[in-house]
C-alpha cells in the first residue's frame, strides 16, 4: 500500500511511502483483536475490591435465640449474611485479572487492527515534526489542517517527545503514543491514525523481530 507523505499543514511533500502488506494488508483476525483487547483492559484493572464475609465481620459468636419454639427460623450468629450488618455471601476479594496471551497472537491482533485502518483509509503519514515548547493550539491547528479535528485521533511517534505529548494532553479525542508502545486497543479506539514518517520504520522493525 502506498501513501503520500504530508506535512503538518496538510500539504503533500511530493514523497510517498510504501506500507508493508505483511503488516498493513493482511486478512484481519477478529478473534485475535478481541483477545488482545480483553487482555489490555484486564491488565488495567486494579483488582483491589474487597467485601467482608461472615468469618471476617466483627461481632459476638453467641447464639441469638433458642433453636426451637420461637415460631421463626433458627439463627445461630449475628454475622449471618441474612442479617443487616452481617457478612456478604461470596463477596469480591482481591485478585489479578490479567491472563497470558501468546506473543504471536498479540502481533496478529496489532497487524489486524492496522490492516483495518489501512483498508478504511484512516491512516495519515506526516513528516516528522516537533514543537519548541508545549502549545495546545499547535496540536489543534494540525488537526484542523489534516481535517481530523472532529475525530478521535492517535498520533504515533518514533520516540517520546515531551512537547508534543504535553501539547495534546488537554485536547479531547487526541492521544499520543510511541510506535514501540502501540497496542491493539488504542488502534481500534481511534478513528484516525496519524503516523510520523520515522515511526513506520520502527513499526516494521518491531514486527520483523
Q: Name all domains of the chain by residue range, CATH numbers in brackets.
A: 2-45+102-208 (3.40.1370.10), 46-96 (no CATH)
* Per-residue confidence (pLDDT) for residue 209, from 0 to 100: 63
Cell numbers at residue 167, please? 501539547
Q: What are phi and psi of 164, to 5 degrees?
A: -70, -40
pLDDT tens digit sequence for 157-183: 999 999 999 999 989 999 999 999 999
pLDDT tens digit sequence for 26-51: 999 999 999 999 999 999 999 999 99
Choose among 208, 154, 152: nearest CA to 181. 154
12-18 vs 2-6, strand pairing mode: antiparallel
12-18 vs 153-157, strand pairing mode: unpaired
**Cα–Cα distance between 4 and 198 in angstroms, integer?**
14
Task: Flag whether pLDDT at 208 surpasses 80.
Answer: no
**Cα–Cα distance between 195 and 189 in angstroms, integer?**
15
pTM of the model: 0.84
**Cα–Cα distance between 188 and 168 in angstroms, integer?**
19
Gyration radius (Cα) of the chain, Å: 27
Mean of per-residue pLDDT scores for the chain? 92
Using the 8-state DSSP alphabet, how is residue 20 labeled? P
Q: Are 126 and 36 in contact (CB under 8 A)?
A: no
Compute CA 80 distance to the chain's CA centroid, rounded to the nearest angstrom: 41
* Per-residue confidence (pLDDT) for residue 45, from 0 to 100: 94
Of 208 and 70, the structure prediction assigns the larger pLDDT to: 70
Amino acid at each position: 500500500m502506498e501513501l503520500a507523505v504530508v506535512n503538518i499543514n496538510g500539504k503533500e511533500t511530493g514523497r510517498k511511502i510504501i506500507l508493508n502488506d505483511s503488516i498493513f494488508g493482511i486478512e484481519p483476525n477478529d478473534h485475535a483483536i478481541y483477545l488482545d483487547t480483553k487482555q489490555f483492559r484486564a491488565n488495567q484493572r486494579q483488582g483491589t475490591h474487597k467485601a467482608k464475609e461472615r468469618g471476617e465481620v466483627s461481632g459476638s459468636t453467641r447464639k441469638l435465640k433458642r433453636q426451637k419454639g420461637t415460631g421463626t427460623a433458627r439463627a445461630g450468629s449475628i454475622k449471618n449474611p441474612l442479617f443487616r450488618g452481617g457478612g456478604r455471601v461470596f463477596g469480591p476479594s482481591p485478585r489479578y485479572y490479567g491472563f497470558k496471551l501468546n506473543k504471536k497472537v498479540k502481533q496478529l491482533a496489532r497487524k489486524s487492527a492496522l490492516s483495518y485502518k489501512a483498508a478504511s483509509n484512516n491512516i495519515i503519514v506526516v513528516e516528522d515534526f516537533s514543537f519548541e515548547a508545549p502549545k495546545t493550539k499547535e496540536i489543534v491547528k494540525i488537526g484542523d489542517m489534516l481535517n481530523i479535528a472532529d475525530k478521535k485521533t492517535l498520533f504515533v511517534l518514533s520516540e517520546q517527545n515531551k512537547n508534543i505529548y504535553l501539547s495534546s494532553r488537554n485536547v479531547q479525542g487526541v492521544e499520543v503514543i510511541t510506535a514501540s508502545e502501540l497496542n491493539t486497543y488504542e488502534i481500534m479506539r481511534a478513528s484516525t491514525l496519524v503516523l510520523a514518517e520515522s515511526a513506520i520504520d520502527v513499526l516494521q522493525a518491531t514486527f520483523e523481530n
